Amino acid sequence: MTAERPAPPVAPRRPAKLVAHGDERVDEWYWLRDKDDPEVISHLGAENDHTREALAHTAAAQELIFEEMRGRILETDMSVPATKGRWSYYSRTVERLQYPISCRRRVADGPDGEEQVLLDQNELAEGHDYFAVVNHSVSPDASLLAYATDCDGSERYTLHVRDLATGHDLADEVPGTYYGLAWAADNRTVFYTKVDEATRPHQLWRHVVGTPAADDVLVFQEDDDHFFLGVHETLSERYILLGLESKVTSEVHYLSTDDPNGKFQVVQPREQGVEYEVDHHAGAGGERFFIVTNAGGAENFKLVEAPVATPGSDHWTEVVPHRPDVRLDGIEVFVGHMVLYEKTGGLRRIAIRRVSDGDTYVIDQPEPVYTVYPETNLEFDTRTFRYGYSSLVTPRSVYDYDLEGRSSRLLKRQPVLGGYEPEEYETQRLWAIAPDGVKVPMSVVHRRGLVLDGSAPTLLYGYGSYESSVDPSFSAFRLSLLERGFVFAIAHVRGGGEMGRHWYDDGKILHKKNTFSDFIACSQHLVAEGYTAPERLAIRGGSAGGLLMGAVTNIAPELFKAVVAVVPFVDVLTTILDESLPLTVMEWEEWGNPKADPEIYRYIKSYSPYDNVEALPYPAMLVLGGLNDPRVSYWEPAKWVQRLRERSTSANTVLLKTEMGGGHMGPSGRYDAWREEALITTFVLDALGLPLPGSSS
């Protein structure tokens, strides 16, 4: 950065904490964990002030970038309506309003019929710095709306029920709920989940509309700390499914929606290492469950079916066998067809299978590098399937697919204002070679006709954990970089799910370092092939992707000029040793249990970013955290920044910005989120020494 920078705040010194487990680790910033300590809050505030001052020379550019991004968005817009029964449901946004408005119209009245507003989040968000809604679900008879709100980013939600005839909330109010909600067929009974002290959803409760929350009934409690509990209805609306999942094991229970006071029955008792998910089908052949599972060594999963009356594995019949080159990601079941979501060759695809005879085919897509995903499908008895499509150059698009006629119809492509022309950009798939010889895919986009002379500024994104795939999709915000000559790339590193289950297994526990070496190989490939150079290369990742950012900058700081780490999971060893923290016990199946296995302890210690900060020339860094984050505690980025500043041998800026009223997801309002993107974009431009908007250079 070229501007004269203010000195960072001097954090108060406290006695160091000895963190021991078979050896000794001294943590000089352990005291920052105490959220109730006024000095901690004061320190975070001082860091926010410092970041604002350090970037003051970019303030005008941030505003220009924000307006540039905003100028590409159709601010008053509407989603494609989805039909269920007599109603057509949609959401819309209004210029200058932060949050969406949920609405519906009667199908019989057509698209110009009278609109009924179900929920205006802008009204509910008034007076709150943070606001989020989950579990937005209309009762089967369409008379009631259940929804849950969070006003601080802690992801602990208060459940509400709204009478849609009057538009007013009923007296029903249940605090402390979590993700997941299901209606029974009586239109009065709602099932919801609650979390324990470690923010693990472990209980299923039953609430009857019109009764006090104190009268709610605990239906099920999962006491094994490795398992998360979730609940949802099948699309057929015949069953409520209670899912219990660890990282490697599943168990599903089911209950007829006609019998809300009944007892849940297990599909197949849990067996360590066996995963499965369930959907329901009812048709001419009777009732059955379709089950996606890895049982019997099906590494990439297979599809089986079983009678509802006897759904255990002894009665499973194979429908789609295991395929070593195709990962079966999930299914969506309709009366006459089922949709198979599959991964092969690093891309996601959609296959359609006719239920009656098994005839199966893949929906063709127009680009070689793209992603597809389910859109809102509300009706079981339908011949139309709705899906979304996007690529790094094609804005998000909504299609209706005729399951009988085998044809797609484009309903909407997200508008991009300001004259965006997709033809001016090109996207492709590159392959880097990891140190162990494995080919690692990258999705890349840039202006058409890029000269490969190493001069292009580049932003490389990565994640690589939990079998989560970072699929190549469009972002209007990214255009602010692409229009300035940037290359944008996604490194599909091991630990993610892009290349099948083995890709995930080869990037977890004692193979975690493959994630880091893959990312470095992708960075080196971009340099070697002439896309960029280290002095023009910025990298970005969030959460577990923030761990990736911390690890690779410890390994090869000279390879990167700038780093953006969003809610970074960087104090891995301390967190995974602490069972009182959210997610820790369940995470042992992702990272390993360092308390039980000395080899795991040593391995995590050898890569944990906070534990491996050394006297190295670190690049410029922007680190973002959330004070109420239940997934990555705010103190992880706060401690990491302090240690980086003390040990770095470079003069590069390391900045910390903590969202004091939010959590893991960052700012909740769309304009606030856009401003954060403008901040990040401006930081990257400035850190790479590029001209800022509005500057004379």
For 623-646, the pLDDT digits (tens) are 999 999 999 999 999 999 999 999
pLDDT grade, residue 1 (50/70/90)?
A: very low
How many residues make up the chain in this entry?
A: 697
Q: What is the mean pLDDT of residues 530-542?
A: 98
For 359-410, the pLDDT digits (tens) are 999 999 999 999 999 999 999 999 999 999 999 999 999 999 999 999 999 9
Q: What is the mean pLDDT of residues 257-275?
A: 98
CA distances from 401 to 48, 78, 147, 375, 692 (A): 49, 20, 30, 11, 45
How would you classify the pairing of strands 132-138 and 144-150?
antiparallel
Query: Can you tell me the distance from the alpha carbon of 378 to that of 384, in angstroms, rounded to the nearest whole number?
Result: 11
Give burial (CB, 10 Å; 0-12/13-18/19+) of 656.
buried
Asked about 455 being catalytic, the answer comes back as no
Which one from 43, 281, 322, 664 is the annotated catalytic residue? 664
Query: Can you tell me the distance from the alpha carbon of 346 to that of 349, in angstroms, rounded to the nearest whole number?
Result: 10
Look-up of token digits 């909600």: 181
Spell 351-383 as b/e; 16+ CB within 10 A means b: bbbebeeeeeeebebebebbbbeebbbeebebe
pLDDT value of position 25: 86
- Residues 354, 383: contact at Cβ < 8 Å? no
For 72-90, the pLDDT digits (tens) are 999 999 999 999 999 999 9
Phi, psi of 687 (to 5 degrees): -65, -30
Query: Can you tell me the distance from the alpha carbon of 516 to that of 497, in angstroms, rounded to the nearest whole number?
Result: 15
For 166-180, the pLDDT digits (tens) are 999 999 999 999 999
Which one from 88, 397, 543, 668 is the annotated catalytic residue? 543
Q: What is the mean pLDDT of residues 551-559?
A: 98
Q: What is the mean pLDDT of residues 675-689?
A: 98
State the chain's mean pLDDT as an integer.
96
Q: What is the mean pLDDT of residues 34-51?
A: 96
- Residues 562, 684: contact at Cβ < 8 Å? yes
pLDDT value of position 697: 54
pLDDT(3) > 90: no
Asked about 543 being catalytic, the answer comes back as yes
For 283-317, the pLDDT digits (tens) are 877 899 999 999 999 999 999 999 999 999 999 99
Query: Can you tell me the distance from the alpha carbon of 99 to that of 121, in angstroms, rounded to the nearest whole number?
Result: 6
For 442-495, the pLDDT digits (tens) are 999 999 999 999 999 999 999 999 999 999 999 999 999 999 999 999 999 999
For 101-158, the pLDDT digits (tens) are 999 999 999 999 999 999 999 999 999 999 999 999 999 999 999 999 999 999 999 9
CA distances from 91 to 88, 183, 387, 475, 635 (A): 10, 21, 17, 20, 37
Query: Can you tell me the distance from the alpha carbon of 244 to that of 276, in angstroms, rounded to the nearest whole number?
Result: 10
For residue 12, how far is the Cα from the chain centroid? Answer: 35
User: Partners of 290 in the beta sheet?
Assistant: 279, 305
- Residues 454, 533: contact at Cβ < 8 Å? yes
- Residues 388, 79: contact at Cβ < 8 Å? no
Q: Where are the alpha helices (DSSP H) in 102-205?
A: 121-125
Which one from 27, 216, 506, 629 is the annotated catalytic residue? 629
Here the tokens at position 475 are 């972002």
pLDDT(22) > 80: no
pLDDT grade, residue 696 (50/70/90)?
A: low
Query: Can you tell me the distance from the alpha carbon of 348 to that of 7, in angstroms, rounded to the nearest whole number?
Result: 47
Q: What is the mean pLDDT of residues 16-39?
A: 87
Asked about 629 being catalytic, the answer comes back as yes
User: Partners of 162 in the beta sheet?
Assistant: 145, 169
Local structure of 95: helix, strand or coil: coil
Query: Can you tell me the distance from the alpha carbon of 342 to that of 300, in angstroms, rounded to the nearest whole number?
Result: 10
Local structure of residue 314 (DSSP, 8 states): G
Closest CA to 148 of 106, 192, 188, 104: 192
